[in-house]
């Protein structure tokens, strides 16, 4: 069953500002069908008790999210620049 994804307008604005709108859309489609698709590198961030997760948008950007109580939907809370 596909995951429902809630994305506030400010996250879309940030995707545009970072120049990753298309990559973000592609990552969201992958996530909807398989939240742990290998190319997303989905991970629970430290400290784990905060419940904030991330998935890869591209080599520099990651989406931060948390699972909603129903565990069938997420809310993306931010896009961040991620350096390797």
Query: Does residue 77 sit in helix, strand or coil?
Result: strand
Residue-wise pLDDT for 46-77, tens only, equals 999 999 999 999 999 999 999 998 888 999 99
Which residue, chain included where needed, has tokens 């699972």? 67
Residue-level pLDDT at 17: 96
Contact 35, 42 (CB under 8 A): yes
Domain extent listing, the chain: 9-71
Residue-wise pLDDT for 3-54, tens only, equals 999 999 999 999 999 999 999 999 999 999 999 999 999 999 999 999 999 9
| Measured distance CA(31)–CA(42) in Å, rounded | 9
| Measured distance CA(84)–CA(73) in Å, rounded | 29
**Among candidate residues 32, 26, 31, 33, the one with its CA nearest the CA of residue 43:** 31
CATH superfamily, with its number, for domain 9-71? RelE-like (3.30.2310.20)
């Amino acid at each position: 069953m596909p995951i429902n994804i809630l994305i506030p307008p400010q996250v879309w604005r940030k995707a545009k500002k970072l120049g990753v709108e298309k990559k973000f859309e592609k990552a969201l489609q992958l996530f909807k069908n398989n939240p742990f698709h290998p190319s997303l590198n989905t991970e629970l961030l430290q400290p784990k008790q905060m419940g904030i997760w991330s998935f890869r948008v591209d080599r520099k950007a990651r989406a931060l999210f948390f699972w909603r109580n129903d565990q069938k939907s997420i809310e993306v809370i931010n896009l961040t620049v991620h350096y390797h």
